[in-house]
Structure 1
């Protein structure tokens, strides 16, 4: 799921990997060219410097030349972008050596063989990356399942014209607002539903990741209500404008000739999310190792006071509303008759003696670093709720499910602002949700670092019953 989320909006991350790999190919090409003439792979210092400069020129030109956010397959793309950028790179490099009067320091045979080998290797790896990208889509690793909503004719047009071989968005099912009989319309094999059908079933059964609402004359009166309805779900919602005459504005994307306005879209995708995920894994492993003695000590305390089990496992709501098992150190007495959804309150008699210390220092949360390593959680994000609470608050709090548009966290924006513990008071959940939605809307890596640092002070100095 995490790989799919990285690519959920565009292919910038794949393009970055591709461009960086091509820059490394320039170094390989330089070494191979030098080997053909001198029978050694060890480049002299001046050749290393030249190769690094050539690679940097290529990266800079690539950033300016390719403004697309989608990886385009095919040899034609190679001729249009990579070949042009590579040619310009060597022209600029040659001009620099001439202007600095250092051209005699380099072998002409090395230079021209380097150019020829670079062209060949670029072509070879272009074909290789095209194949890798195709396999990622075929294996559903980066495939986005889409629910298309609109009038029947518009839906047919989009399904017919949307390029399955280019895009990693796959229209899995549709809702045609003007259809009377699902059998009398041709949607090219895509299953169709009606407006009054069970949305929960549709979204879960078809693993929908995005909802596309088609803007047309027939759908104008439905759009506002549809948007309000789907804001109660955690999936991304986009408004598609097939005949838009407007220029690009904030929140507007373009794919396969269609304009998309992102009504509700998770910012957790691409390179930033990939870095966040890497940091999560690294820091979680680090924290688990350094806190292992603390976990062992409190595990023994739990064992001596109330026996097994030491750990507490419970179903919680994760990204896109999917459930997962969360792990905690047990801080309550064993009560078979107690409700799993009953929150712990101040002075709760169910709390172990050692449990009071565990909860005061938030030691019970430490095993959740294992959830982060598994990919169920992040270190920073909205706290995951019990399934019963999610079901209840999704009906009581507006836009509650929007807080599930990212991985749940061990700590979060709401928690460092005092929204911790049970939500027994009226309005406490509303306040927590507002903090969570603020975090999702304004997320960046620096905000995560700020929350981590502030969490340390909250744990050490804030009183928790």
Structure 2
């Protein structure tokens, strides 16, 4: 069966109620299993408050789960996010039920261990049968069943990417039946490798095509610059009884985020707010301080040994200080162990090269092992830097590459780091060509867009075992 003639199925009337009743039955079964684990008997033989909690929480789940988005379609979404939402909603139901028992002075009679068992068993059963259904449906869709026919309006970079993903991820069950190519779009590639797709010539024809060809969804991927067409399209589709999705051209914008927030009472989209802002960023800041303080205390004897070696190798200060750009372009002085003889730069920064005569003997060792970077934990403690982030570059390099590389200065939307995603992938040391710097910036921007505490931990562990040395460290 091909995609073009694959049957489509609508959810039957009352499907949502059936799902809610199924969840109630599953939660009731989970409560009985929890009772066996805790009391070694059925629930009705225990204190009556547990039966009351069962009835109350099942009723709350019946009415609250739909409000928390538990029953929205999973098609085209990540299962992990949907199951996480379900687990959180179930936890909220139990907390509300416990609050009611507290208000009626029965909280002391509720077995906390039974509640924990019920939560775990309920979460396992609820997510388990959903996961099975999820994979079964994906399997059916990969064979052409339960598909949805789609029109893509606008065929620029975003429209083409959506088409490719719908084709490649056949388990999502989307079949692109037709496209409308805007006059501002780039040259449309050959569509034959993807599927047999109709071409809609004008905006006026979209409504008629959707009505006569059993279209289920319309994806609007027109750029923001086509605002007049968006308004025209909104009016033309006012009576079209299909789901309409607007997919903003975020691929063309190349920014960090596209999260929708409320600002002054209106919905706005933050285009360049880093992912590390917010609660996660607060944890990152706290962990940075604790980690830096621990390192400085534990390695203080090593600091003294290195300082003595630097003093013995050549006259001058132990630390090397240089101005760098930090968060949002704010200047700060970065600290390093001095690895070179004292010299004058004469208004420009000359990067260290292999066999550089300015580097002292101990300096070669410090740079090769990256021990010269250790004083930057002082910068972390001061709040100028983070343990993980894009490496700070000399000011002259910023001025040079700002004009050459697109989005180069976007690296400064987060705090610079002692180590980073680029460094653990070998992009460290001298950047004597534009290509090397471009590659480093590409990895830095990937880190900023995809940041997580787990990613930071991975970078720290990788650096601890493999990231201190390398062929480009000199």
Q: What is the TM-score of this pair, normalised by structure 2?
A: 0.48
Larger Rg: 2
